[in-house]
Structure 1
Amino acid sequence: MKKVLYFGTLMMLLVVSVSFAQKKNKDGWISLFDGKSLAGWKVGENASTFSIDNGTIMVAGPRAHIFYDGKVGDHNFKNFEFKAQVMTTPGSNSGIYFHTQYQEGGWPSKGYEVQVNNSHTDWRRTGSLYSIQDVKDVFVEDNVWYTEHIIVQGKHITIKINDKTVVDYVEPDEVAAKVKDPGRKISSGTFALQGHDPKSKVYYKDIMVKPLGE
């Protein structure tokens, strides 16, 4: 009986070990989205804005935000690389928040937003560090998959679109003293995807993070 229990425990550990290995690539990237469900993600108001469509997170509906709430990094990241495959549709608008935290409704009050918008009426285009260092040029087309890559190391924020650096920003020390928007600063926190408005439809897949050292 002891041998059977030992063998069963060993097999269980092996399965867990293999499962973890599948999530974490050799180069340190860890998946945050299983391609099949919204497991590990949490949404407040207008939850129907987010759904699974052919292995992607489809964002389509009223304003809403879905926050990563899973076990990776205890959903709290400070220094990291984040990347996702994104596809916009004509006239759509979305965003990727980092260093944020879950809130039931409204626009996230904590963290920075990285813009996802190639043809919406808002002139701030894909890759903008929203209202901080904005991008006016359009680097990718609607209906085409592209990579949005965010790197945060200390107070240095780099945003790349298909390996092209479009934002290179260092947060000044005095930002911490601002009273107007105290949550919009480097700190730590989770990621969130934005549903902007009912006319915006955007797709996300291959959502990954690589935690970096202090």
Structure 2
Amino acid sequence: MKQLKLSVLALLALALCNPLAQAATPEKGLAKKPWQTLFDGKTLTGWHTFQKAGQPVSEKWAVEDGAIHFTGGRGAGDLVTDKEYGNFELEIEWKIAEGGNSGIIYHVNEDPKYKATYQTGPEMQVLDNERHPDAKQGRDGNRTAGALYDLQKPITPNAAKPAGEWNKARLIINNGKAEQYLNGKKIAEYPTSGPEWDAMVANSKFKGWEGFGKFNTGKIALQDHGDQVWYRNIRIREL
């Protein structure tokens, strides 16, 4: 019996030393890529205006107190990352002015035939739910803060903090699936392609839009909707 126990222990030791056995263990071999900062708190390095790479960004996109502050008024254009992302986890904090509207848009394509970021990229809504009319438009709150804009009813409604307070958003896109969180609460979960996605689009304002939701990679955008909004602590890791 003692010899049998020793043999079993020896086999276990060999298995643990075997790289293939380790890789089969949950989360083994799935090393997470490091977080990358998308905003250094001081400059707009790594960002440009949609369709205007290499050109100066409008002064309406200012950097103040460690945050990107869109100071309001139309014409500045959306701010987009220089780099494209496919599967990723994004963390970002935002604060909206009273009555304000903005959005975080992903998989944005900059082909010149698309004139706006939202023509290709789905949007995580940024909004003052109490004062902006969008909160009561759409269906079942699908245009409220944190929601997948105009496409899905929030899983957890009313997760947003009031205008003027910071909210923490999290967006995960991985292998055709997406999850959206606001202040630690899941707001949306959906496929990014396939029959279910197509049905969601067909039942939204984006029905018939040529490029909407068709790209698996693209830029991340912060929307100029004409209203004051602040973004900070922006980081991403690719999956």
TM over 0.5: yes
CA distance in structure 1 between the aligned counterparts of 2:158 and 2:98, rounded to whole angstroms: 13
Shift of 1:142: 1.3
Shift of 1:202: 0.8
Deviation string 1:176-200 (CA, Å, 9 cap, x unpaired) is 9988123222511110100102xx1
**Contact kept in structure 2, 1:90 and 1:142, CA below 8 Å:** yes
- Partner of 2:219 in structure 1? 190
Normalising by structure 1, we get a TM-score of: 0.75
CA distance in structure 1 between the aligned counterparts of 2:78 and 2:234, rounded to whole angstroms: 16
CA distance in structure 1 between the aligned counterparts of 2:209 and 2:120, rounded to whole angstroms: 9
**Contact kept in structure 2, 1:125 and 1:134, CA below 8 Å:** no
Q: Which of 184, 200, 208 pairs up with 1:180?
A: 208
Structure with more of its chain in strand, by fraction: 1
Task: Describe the SS at the equivalent of 2:86.
Answer: coil
- Partner of 1:20 in structure 2? none
CA separation of 1:141 and 1:132: change in aligned 2, threshold 3 A: same
Task: Describe the SS at the equivalent of 2:89.
Answer: strand
Residues 1:125 and 2:127 aligned together: no
Shift of 1:128: 1.2
- Partner of 1:211 in structure 2? 238
Q: Which of 11, 14, 37 pairs up with 2:43?
A: 37
Q: Radius of gyration: which is bigger?
A: 2
- Partner of 1:50 in structure 2? 61
CA distance in structure 1 between the aligned counterparts of 2:45 and 2:192, rounded to whole angstroms: 33
- Partner of 2:126 in structure 1? 116
Aligned partner of 1:94: which letter?
S
CA separation of 1:48 and 1:94: change in aligned 2, threshold 3 A: same
CA distance in structure 1 between the aligned counterparts of 2:84 and 2:152, rounded to whole angstroms: 24
Deviation string 1:69-106 (CA, Å, 9 cap, x unpaired) is 1xxxxx12111101101111210000011111347884
Normalising by structure 2, we get a TM-score of: 0.68
Q: What stretches of structure 1 move > 4 A for 4+ residues in a row?
A: 103-106, 176-179
Shift of 1:161: 0.4
**Contact kept in structure 2, 1:113 and 1:130, CA below 8 Å:** yes
Structure 1 unpaired stretches of 5+: 1-25, 70-74
Counterparts of residues 38-187 of structure 1 (less than 5 Å): 38-44=44-50, 47-59=58-70, 60-62=72-74, 64-69=77-82, 75-102=83-110, 106-108=115-117, 109-119=119-129, 120-123=132-135, 124-135=143-154, 137-139=157-159, 140-174=161-195, 175=198, 180-185=208-213, 186-187=215-216
CA distance in structure 1 between the aligned counterparts of 2:79 and 2:223, rounded to whole angstroms: 7
Q: Percent identity?
A: 28
Aligned partner of 2:116: which letter?
W
Structure 2 unpaired stretches of 5+: 1-31, 136-142
The number of residue pairs the alignment matches comes to 180
Task: Describe the SS at the equivalent of 1:137.
Answer: coil
